[in-house]
Amino acid sequence: MLWNAFLSLLDIWVLVAAVTGIVTGIIIGAIPGLGPTMAIALLIPATFSMQPIPAMILLLGVYQGAIFGGSISAVLLNVPGTPSSAATAIDGNALARRGEGGRALRIALYASVFGNVFSCLVLMLLAEPLARFALDFGPAEMTVLMLFALQVIVLFGGGSRLDALIMVLVGICAGVVGLDPIDGSPRFTFGSFAFESGFQLIPVLVGLFAMSEVFIQVFSRRSETGDPEIPDLKPARVSLLDLWRMRAILVMSSVIGTFVGILPGIGSTVPAFMSYNLARSRSKEPETFGAGAAEGVAAPEAANNAVTGGALVPTLALGIPGDAVTAVILGAFMLQGLAPGPFLFKNHGVEVYAIFEALLLSSLPTVVFGLLLFRVAVHVIRIRPQHLFPAIAILAALGAFSVNNSLFDVWVMLGAGLLGFFFRRSGFPISPLLIGLILGHPFEQSMRQALLMSGGSLGVFVDSPIALGLLGLTGVSLATSVLFSLREKRRDSE
């Protein structure tokens, strides 16, 4: 299987896709306000006419490139290109301000590649056995698994749990629109034929992440303040010995990033800060953190890049996305006919392993193009919103239309964009909504199938050891969250 997968990579279009994805990702990630989610959502139409392997390699290349690209503006401007680069900005920008911006960016690049390689290896080791295990899951087990995933997103996704719960419920309600999965009767369609197939994922994604950002930019537009001040990038070198000295922190950060990434809903910002704090606590010179410590750049970058592989484990093996980016990638896999879930490895093993191997091998072009693009990215950062966001709005309309060649989807995109603007402006998290939308329909279908099989008895959800184990995990995560809240309250009151 691995050899066949490798042979399928020996195609010039695979190389072109990998390089294009990485370069696009690095450039887009460097622009504050544009993240991997928006970039992938807008690029999906470009993959319609492509074969599945190069198409997915292009999109995953954008994902990898954008996570690293976010560190460029974090280091040079102290403005994280992606939220996960916020921890990198602390020491990265301090290094840049004392004339070591080039060194900081090189450390960020090598640490990113290290985290990426580590998480890809874990992905290759874990995803297939997990999918094989999930083949034994019936409707009851799938219901409890999805309940667990939704609960983790609400409890540990960060921010207000009530807000996250409201967003998950809104997403599930949006997923209910369309024909009933069991008896086929229309629900919330208001007599419209277009509503009967429900909301398509890609138009909603493009609306929530791209169009809502356009609205937010218009809402918060600022008068021109001149070009941002960017420190000079002097020639610098990072030797293998420098990296060897940081080996322990690179490995530990990669472990944190990968395994936190596997948990749904947490994203890459939390592991980046966890790794940063770990690096500071282990350092012999903790006082240098915040003033330009190399480990302060390496740790968060290794962690936030390691999340990419970790988050793909539940997405591909179980069909449960870990965060917004993997939700978009899940949509792209489905559009290419590679439906994520337990049967993915059984039915499309060669394609999936080819994508994994390409992710691993793309570390080389990431290093090469990362080094070449530092100086280009400096110019890209200077692009003003009024020149960038008209293009985003135009591409958003195309992205929504191209899924079904339907103007109805463009209306859905526009509606989701406006709704996303109000939600984001009000401080609601968007990822729980998206994951609720993705899981709402299969959650309802599995639950109703399980209840039909059991003649309406709820006992079906505690009948099997797998379901019971998953219910136990759900209970443990709830208890952990309550304990953390109580401890935080006690600490606040002291």
Partner 1 sequence: MALGALALALVIRLGLGFMRGATDASIGPGRRLAWTLALALVSGLALVAMPVLGYFAGAGLVGVATALLLGERRPVLGVLVPVVIAGIVTLGARWGLHIPLP
Half-sphere exposure in the Cβ direction for 305 (13 Å, CA): 40
Residue 81 binds to partner 1 (criterion: CB under 8 A): no
Spatial separation of the C-alpha atoms in residues 247 and 298, rounded to whole Å? 10
In the chain, DSSP finds a helix count (H) and a strand count (E) of 21, 2
Shortest distance (Å) from residue 327 CB to partner 1: 21
Name the residue type at position 331: G
Shortest distance (Å) from residue 414 CB to partner 1: 6
Number of chain positions touching partner 1 (CB under 8 A): 47
Residue 282 binds to partner 1 (criterion: CB under 8 A): no
Residue 401 binds to partner 1 (criterion: CB under 8 A): yes
15-74 residues near partner 1, rule: CB under 8 A: 45-46, 48-49
Spatial separation of the C-alpha atoms in residues 384 and 83, rounded to whole Å? 20
The number of angstroms, rounded, from the C-alpha of 65 to the middle of its chain's C-alpha atoms is 12
Tokens of 493: 């009151």
If the CB atoms of residues 394 and 482 are measured against partner 1, the closer one turns out to be 394
Residue 383 binds to partner 1 (criterion: CB under 8 A): no
Residue 239 binds to partner 1 (criterion: CB under 8 A): no
Q: What is the DSSP string of 216-262?
A: HHHHT------PPP----------HHHHHHTHHHHHHHHHHHHHHHH
Residue 461 binds to partner 1 (criterion: CB under 8 A): no
If the CB atoms of residues 215 and 374 are measured against partner 1, the closer one turns out to be 215
Binding mask 155-184 for partner 1 (x = CB under 8 A): -------xx--x--xx--x-----------
Task: List all residues 6 or more positions away from 225 whose beta carbon is below 8 Å from its beta carbon.
Answer: none
If the CB atoms of residues 44 and 293 are measured against partner 1, the closer one turns out to be 44
Shortest distance (Å) from residue 147 CB to partner 1: 17
Do 431 and 270 contact (CB within 8 A), yes or no? no
3-state DSSP assignment of residue 373: helix
Shortest distance (Å) from residue 150 CB to partner 1: 15
Do 167 and 423 contact (CB within 8 A), yes or no? yes
415-444 residues near partner 1, rule: CB under 8 A: 417-418, 421-428
3-state DSSP assignment of residue 186: strand
Shortest distance (Å) from residue 424 CB to partner 1: 6
The number of angstroms, rounded, from the C-alpha of 197 to the middle of its chain's C-alpha atoms is 26
Residue 360 binds to partner 1 (criterion: CB under 8 A): no
3-state DSSP assignment of residue 323: coil
Spatial separation of the C-alpha atoms in residues 115 and 109, rounded to whole Å? 10
Tokens of 29: 């990630």
If the CB atoms of residues 222 and 490 are measured against partner 1, the closer one turns out to be 222
Spatial separation of the C-alpha atoms in residues 341 and 130, rounded to whole Å? 10
Spatial separation of the C-alpha atoms in residues 392 and 379, rounded to whole Å? 19
Residue 111 binds to partner 1 (criterion: CB under 8 A): no
Cα dihedral: 12, 18, 19, 22 (round 10): 180
Residue 227 binds to partner 1 (criterion: CB under 8 A): no
If the CB atoms of residues 230 and 388 are measured against partner 1, the closer one turns out to be 388
Shortest distance (Å) from residue 465 CB to partner 1: 32
Shortest distance (Å) from residue 489 CB to partner 1: 22
Give the interface with partner 1 as residue ranges (CB under 8 A): 45-46, 48-49, 162-163, 166, 169-170, 173, 214-215, 217-221, 223-224, 385-387, 389-391, 393-395, 397-398, 401-402, 405, 407, 410-411, 414, 417-418, 421-428
